[in-house]
Amino acid sequence: MITLPVSIIIPCYNEEEVIGETYTRVKAVMAAFKKYEIIFINDGSHDKTLEILTRLAKTDKTIRILSFSRNFGHQAAVTAGIRNASMDAAIIIDADLQDPPELFPEMVRIHLAEKANVVYGQRAKRKGETIFKKLSARLYYRILNRFSEVSMQIDTGDFRFIDRKVMDAFCQFSEKNKYIRGIISWVGFKQVPVLYTREPRFAGETKYPLRKMLHFAMTGLLYFTKKPLKLAMNLGILCILVGLALAVWTLILYFSDEFVVPGWSSQLITIVFFGGVQLFTIGVLGGYIGSIFDEVKNRPEYVIGEKINFPGSAKKQVRR
Ligand code: UDP
Ligand code: MG
């Protein structure tokens, strides 16, 4: 029997096809735990996810539900889960059973045996994902790790165990666009990997279309490294040097006998190329300015529409 009280955090967005099975698998694992709560965050689903969860929560008081007023995104959902978790540790897991709940006891064992504050799932294998996703993920994590000021764990998602110290440290982060795996790397403490095979989704489609994935990847880069700004500057310096060299070259040609009027194509190429470089660097600046804009607005990251089975939320539930 595991005596450590643990909060399980499960973000859900349109997961009606898997949520029942997820509950069954998680619940079976939790039989080995003495005290626990399972927090489902309904991230503005417009299918039957909330309905199914609410039904389950009626008979199972270990289930807690946080229901957002609309879709705020996976990272906001996990953030809400951590902030509302009341136990001594938390485990974050996706709703689609790509990560095995059966690993929970092993995570707790590593936490206790190695005094690890974070036990993060590291993907030894990824099954049922497109070559594009696998390759881009591999490349992205390596680039981010190279660029970022703190060392980032490679091939790691948000599937992890975190203890109370890390949860409390996380709650001090007020940034609006959260890149949670980066933040948890950033806080430090002892972090230990546990290898596992990432399975295909149990059912349904990915809730991370390319647009969301790119936004997420950009957040990781913008919030964890300033190197692109430096890179833009270096690129500028390089262009100036090339420009100067070209000017000298033209002058030499001008005073030599071989002076010929240069063709328009070389000019065109230069204009297009440097136009591209300029737009790219403006884009880099724009990325950072956009993030600053998001931060200064200081809007809440999510709005909770309903809380079910949380202490103090009982009365509200009866009225509904
Ligand atoms: N998710 C969420 N809000 C979103 C998108 C996803 O809460 O806007 C949840 C989703 O229900 C799942 C987890 O985040 O539990 C990971 O999403 P998904 O499995 O679709 O991403 P993938 O594994 O394909 O990267
Ligand atoms: Mg998934």
Most confidently modeled range among 78-82, 175-179, 220-224 = 78-82
| Rounded Cα distance, 133 and 119, in Å | 24
- Tell me if 81 CB under 6 Å of ligand 1: no
- How far lies 314's CA from each of 14, 295, 310, in Å? 25, 34, 7
Q: Which two tokens stand for residue 299?
A: 């809007």
pLDDT at 259: 62
* Mean pLDDT, rounded, for 192-211: 86
Q: Which CATH architecture has domain 6-225+299-319?
A: Alpha-Beta Complex (3.90)
End-to-end CA distance of the chain: 37
Residue 104 confidence (pLDDT) above 70: yes
- Tell me the CA–centroid distance for residue 75 and ligand 1, in Å: 9
pLDDT of residue 83: 96
So what's the pLDDT on residue 102?
95
* Ligand 1 pocket, residue 206 CB under 6 Å: yes
**158 Rama class: left (phi>0) / alpha (psi -120 to 50) / beta:** alpha
For residues 192 and 199, give the distance between their C-alpha atoms in angstroms, rounded to a whole number. Answer: 21
| Residue 100 in this model has a pLDDT that exceeds 90 | yes
pLDDT by residue (tens digit) across 23-47? 999 999 999 999 999 999 999 999 9
Among the bound ligands, name the one nearest to the CA of residue 79. Answer: 1
pLDDT in tens, 127-173: 777 888 888 888 888 888 888 888 888 788 899 999 999 999 999 99
Mean pLDDT, rounded, for 10-31: 95
Q: What is the mean pLDDT of the chain?
A: 88
Q: Is the CB of 288 under 6 A from ligand 1?
A: no
Determine the pLDDT at residue 262: 65
Is ligand 1 within 6 A of the CB of residue 43? Answer: yes
Percent of the chain exceeding pLDDT 70 equals 95
Q: Residues with Cβ within 5 Å of ion ligand 2?
A: 94, 96, 98
Backbone angles phi, psi at 64, to 5 degrees: -120, 145
CA distance 164 to 182: 18
Work out the pLDDT band at 318, boundaries 50, 70, 90: very low
Contact of 81 with 70, CB cutoff 8 Å:
no
pLDDT of residue 265: 67
Ligand 1 closest atom vs CA 71: 8
- Is the per-residue pLDDT at 319 higher than 60? no
Q: Is 99 in the pocket of ligand 1 (CB under 6 A)?
A: no
Residues 8 and 88: beta-carbon distance below 8 Å: no
Domain residue limits, the chain: 6-225+299-319, 227-297
* Ligand 1 mutation pick, 69, 94, 156, 304, max ligand atoms within 8 A of CB: 94
Please report the pLDDT score of residue 257 as a whole number: 72
For residue 72, the ligand 1 atom closest to its alpha carbon is 8
Section 240-260 average pLDDT: 78
DSSP output for the chain: -B-S-EEEEEEESS-TTTHHHHHHHHHHHHTTBSSEEEEEEE-S-SSSHHHHHHHHHHH-TTEEEEEESS---HHHHHHHHHHH--SSEEEE--TTSSS-GGGHHHHHHHHHHHT-SEEEEEEEEE-S--HHHHHHHHHHHHHHHHHSSSPPPTTEEEEEEEEHHHHHHHHT---SS--HHHHHHHH-S-EEEEEEEEPPPSSS--S--HHHHHHHHHHHHHHH--HHHHHHHHHHHHHHHHHHHHHHHHHHHHHSTT--PPPHHHHHHHHHHHHHHHHHHHHHHHHHHHHHHHHHHT--S--EEEEESSTT-HHHHHH-
Least confident of 69-83, 124-138, 194-208, 292-306: 124-138
Q: Is the CB of 158 under 6 A from ligand 1?
A: no
Integer Cα distance of 196 and 193 in angstroms: 10
Q: Which atom of ligand 1 is nearest to the CA of 43?
A: 7
* Protein residue whose Cα sits closest to atom 23 of ligand 1: 206
Instruction: Give 133: exposed, middle or buried? Use CB within 10 Å, 0-12, 13-18, 19+.
Output: middle
Q: Is the pLDDT of residue 60 over 50?
A: yes
Q: Is the CB of 23 under 6 A from ligand 1?
A: no
